[in-house]
């Protein structure tokens, strides 16, 4: 079954794999042409000399991306048939293993190990990328609930931090949270915590999620090179496999509108529905993904309000909560659209007549720029280990 067919049909249909060969081959060719060959040839598109700081940054980004690519291949759905029929992967490894540019590097060593692994006669006979529910020891590299129930909360104990408990349970796999997944099949989970940032916006059942590095972006004309996290969320749109969402509140930290009072909480499955280009306060572009919570039947009957309260409602009450939330969201959206309509109308009339006109009295007044900034900064961010103490914790 191809990735495009890998839809979540309420547990009634489970595809054996979500990595379709055409997408895999296209990905391999992209990485070869955009990373491996430019590194081999010392390609310089910066307009600066190869001794310049700008070119050095480009090369560093290429090396980091190649390292992530080779790391991903360790877990990919690769078999002998693919290696024999498609030259993209073999050609990539051949370049890295034989060209002097890669001698003595971590990437060169990783490529040699992969080449040796792919030379095994039984390659691929026992390797699949499954997405169905599995028994056994919890592991974060599984899709869907992974044995968890929405509303499950982990709190710090004297011997075990909340994040470690959630990790052991298979809810997530990164000590500091963030995004984790496979660049071809999609993200397993994302984590959120309260922070003052315009990169993300959390409406509970709908989340706008900025990718890692969005705060640092400075280029107003192009997006940063995609990393493993970005590719994972892009793949989630294509494969339509839902993503686990966890919210957490740091010890002594401020609780977000939808966050737990303390510790970590699993808030159920969300689908990644879209991605758009957004700009940060510096004008730098980054990718912002839309995540929407799945219906009650896909979240074991738990609404987000139930997760927040820590107690499951009756099915009737849960559906009522969801209905009221959707209706409230629609009312807010309609009011904003109406204000925007009158704002445009007033501006056009002002330009034609030469004087300003006031909007009708029954239209809610616009917030001030300062108020708007304060409201839009209520969001969540991803963990970014290389940030300063003030900026620590993106999501």
> What confidence score (pLDDT) does residue 268 get?
95
Q: Write down the domain spans for the chain.
A: 21-119, 152-317
CA triplet 345, 349, 352: central angle to 5 degrees?
145
Cβ–Cβ under 8 Å, residues 296 and 303: yes
> What confidence score (pLDDT) does residue 328 get?
64
Helix (H) or strand (E) holding 383: none
Three-state secondary structure readout of 180-228: EEECCCEEEEEEEEEEECCCCEECCCEEEEECCCCCCCCCCCCCCCCCH
> What confidence score (pLDDT) does residue 73 get?
75
> What confidence score (pLDDT) does residue 13 get?
32
> What confidence score (pLDDT) does residue 9 get?
30
Taking alpha carbons only, the member of 333, 276, 269, 273 closest to residue 302 is 269
Taking alpha carbons only, the member of 212, 147, 141, 131 closest to residue 173 is 141
Q: What residue ranges of the chain have pLDDT lower than 70?
A: 1-24, 72, 74-88, 121-138, 175-177, 195-198, 212-213, 315-316, 318-395
Residue 181 tokens, joined: 């997944």
Measured distance CA(298)–CA(285) in Å, rounded: 34
> What confidence score (pLDDT) does residue 196 get?
61
> What confidence score (pLDDT) does residue 128 get?
40
Helix (H) or strand (E) holding 91: helix 87-98
* CATH architecture of structural domain 152-317: Roll (2.30)
**Scanning the structure block, which residue is given the tokens 């799945």?**
294
CA distances from 306 to 192, 194, 299, 319 (A): 18, 19, 11, 11
Measured distance CA(184)–CA(217) in Å, rounded: 25
Measured distance CA(374)–CA(196) in Å, rounded: 9
Measured distance CA(116)–CA(86) in Å, rounded: 18
Query: What is the chain's alpha carbon radius of gyration, rounded to the nearest angstrom?
Result: 24
Cβ–Cβ under 8 Å, residues 245 and 291: yes
The pTM (predicted TM-score) of the whole model is 0.55
Decide the pairing of beta strands 206-210 and 179-182: unpaired
Would you state the torsion angle of the CA atoms of residues 290, 295, 300, 306, taken in this order, to the nearest 10 degrees? 80
Kindly give, in sequence order, each residue whose CB lies less than 8 Å from that of residue 373, ignoring residues fewer than 6 positions away. none
Residue 39 buriedness (CB in 10 A; 0-12 / 13-18 / 19+): buried
């Amino acid at each position: 079954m191809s990735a495009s067919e890998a839809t979540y049909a309420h547990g009634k249909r489970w595809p054996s794999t979500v990595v379709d060969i055409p997408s895999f081959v296209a990905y391999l060719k992209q990485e070869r042409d955009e990373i491996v060959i430019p590194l081999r040839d010392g390609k310089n598109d910066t307009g600066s000399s190869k001794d310049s700081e700008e070119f050095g940054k480009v090369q560093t980004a290429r090396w980091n991306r190649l390292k992530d690519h080779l790391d991903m291949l360790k877990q990919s759905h690769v078999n002998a048939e693919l290696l024999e029929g498609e030259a993209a992967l073999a050609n990539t490894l051949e370049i890295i293993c034989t060209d002097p540019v890669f001698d003595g590097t971590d990437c060169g060593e990783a490529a040699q190990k992969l080449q040796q692994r792919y030379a095994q006669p039984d390659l691929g006979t026992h390797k699949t990328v499954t997405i169905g529910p599995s028994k056994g020891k919890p592991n974060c590299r599984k899709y869907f609930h992974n044995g968890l129930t929405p509303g499950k909360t982990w709190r710090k104990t004297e011997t075990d931090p909340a994040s470690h408990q959630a990790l052991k349970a298979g809810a997530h796999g990164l000590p500091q949270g963030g995004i984790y997944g496979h660049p071809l099949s999609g993200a397993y989970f994302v984590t959120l915590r309260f922070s003052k940032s315009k990169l993300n916006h959390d409406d509970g059942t709908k989340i706008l999620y900025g990718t890692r590095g969005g705060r640092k972006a400075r280029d107003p004309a192009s997006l940063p090179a995609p990393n493993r996290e970005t590719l994972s969320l892009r793949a989630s749109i294509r494969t339509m496999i839902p993503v686990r969402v966890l919210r957490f509140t740091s010890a002594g930290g401020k609780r977000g509108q939808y966050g737990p009072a303390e510790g970590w909480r699993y808030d159920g499955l969300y689908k990644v529905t879209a991605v758009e280009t957004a700009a940060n306060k510096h004008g730098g572009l980054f990718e912002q993904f839309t995540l929407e919570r799945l219906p009650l039947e896909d979240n074991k009957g738990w609404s987000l309000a139930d997760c927040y309260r820590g107690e499951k409602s009756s099915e009737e009450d849960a559906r009522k909560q969801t209905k009221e939330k959707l209706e409230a969201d629609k009312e807010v959206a309609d009011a904003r659209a109406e204000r925007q309509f009158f704002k445009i109308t007033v501006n056009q009339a002002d330009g034609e007549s030469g004087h300003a006109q006031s909007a009708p009295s029954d239209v809610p007044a616009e917030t001030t720029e300062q108020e708007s900034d304060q409201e839009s900064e209520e969001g969540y961010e991803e963990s970014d280990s290389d940030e300063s103490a003030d900026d620590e914790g993106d999501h």
